[in-house]
Amino acid sequence: MIERILGRSRAMRCMMIVGLLGASLNSAMADSIAHEADQREWWQTTHETMSYKVGEWSNGLDAFFSGQRHESDEKSFVSMRFGSIIESEDGVSGFFNLDARLHLPNTENRLDLIIESDADELTQDNRLMDNEPGQNILQSAQNTRFATMLRYVKDEWNANIDLGLLVRMPMDPFVRIKFDQEYVLGNWTVEQNESLFSYYSLGYGGRYGIAAKRPFADRFEFGVEFGTTYLEVDSETYWRQNLYVNHALSDISKLRYQISYLQEGSRPHAESFLYFLEYQRILYGNWLIGQLKPQVTYERENNYQSEASLTASLEVLLGPGFL
């Protein structure tokens, strides 16, 4: 009997010691986590908070359309890109872009909510630069015209169907449908796409594009792209040809060398010629990206005189996949 009592006493003491050790360990871990949180910069905690918000927005919309909630979806994101453009003629200006995709997996992976900046730019085939110069970052943010659309994904057709509004006064509803095809021919990957769109005030149009690319050596990829767009509002056809080489310098940095030739008219005539070098590097985690892009452009309206520019930008990616 005495041995049983002593045995129980020893067991109780062991349990108390284990409990005290566990509590001390948990306390130490909590202090460590709190210390790490205190050591983080404000921009890191802000990014984490906003990324959780993107997940919450995606959950809320998914529940609204499907009646079900999902835990998190790494396909949902918000991209903010801002920076400066330095031109030899016009000096320094700024720009701000905002794009987002909220994926709704419980709608049988059919629906996405898409937000695009500069949505009234109906084609890329006549654009000389990624962003229009001539304003500062604040003016660019204020003047940016967004499109909010619901995208229906039809996998059986390799098609996306967008129904949305161009957010400006008055509101401009639009519909856009895009088809994509991809083929593998030996070492080449060939992508083809066709799109049709109609805006209430901007008119209608269509685009056809085809691109081919192939890897060579260990860290290089060569590609060619061709695109043509017809815009009813301009009664004009635009043509673009790109030749590029992608060079992966490391796991976090890469270079792109590109030459572009732009034409206009039903019978194409030379409009512009440009070439650039684009350097991109991941600066922090997988969500803060820096970019430098020196470019030289020759335009017909400027008698094909060379115009140099330098674009420097930062891109911030928010969402559950970037936590």
Write phi, then psi, for 270 (nearest 5 degrees): -60, 130
pLDDT in tens, 253-279: 999 999 999 999 988 899 999 999 999
Spatial separation of the C-alpha atoms in residues 247 and 242, rounded to whole Å? 16
**Which residue, 67, 155, 72, is CA-closest to 110?**
155
Distance of CA 147 to the CA centre of its chain: 15
Spatial separation of the C-alpha atoms in residues 289 and 81, rounded to whole Å? 9
pLDDT in tens, 152-199: 988 888 899 999 988 766 778 999 999 999 999 999 999 999 999 999
Look up residue 64 and give its two tokens: 């609204």
Average pLDDT per 10 consecutive residues for the chain, totaling 323 residues:
42 42 42 51 87 86 76 81 86 88 84 84 87 73 80 88 82 91 94 94 93 94 97 93 96 96 92 96 94 95 92 94 85
Q: How far, in Å, are 26, 49, 89 from residue 36 at the CA level?
A: 15, 16, 48
**Which residue, 167, 48, 2, 42, is CA-closest to 98?**
167
Spatial separation of the C-alpha atoms in residues 41 and 51, rounded to whole Å? 16
Quote the DSSP letter at residue 19.
Answer: H
The model carries a pTM of 0.80
